[in-house]
Amino acid sequence: MNAYKPLRLALFFYELFRFLDTLKDMRIFSFINDLGQSDNLQMLVWIAPNALFPLMTLFLFLDLAAYKPYIPLYIAGKCATLALTLRLIAGAAFYPQESGVRSLFFIFFLTLGDFICIISFVLIRSAVKKREKNDGMSSSVDDKDEKNETGDET
CA distances for 151 relative to 11, 31, 141, 146, angstroms: 51, 73, 16, 9
- Report the distance separating Cα 70 and Cα 100, nearest Å: 36
Q: Tell me which residue of 81, 62, 87, 72 sits closest to 125, measured CA to CA.
A: 72
Going residue by residue through the chain, which has 154 residues, state the pLDDT in tens, using 9 for 90 and above.
576 888 889 999 999 988 887 777 666 555 555 555 555 565 666 677 778 899 999 999 999 889 989 999 999 988 888 887 777 677 767 766 555 555 667 777 778 888 999 999 999 999 888 888 888 777 665 555 555 555 555 4
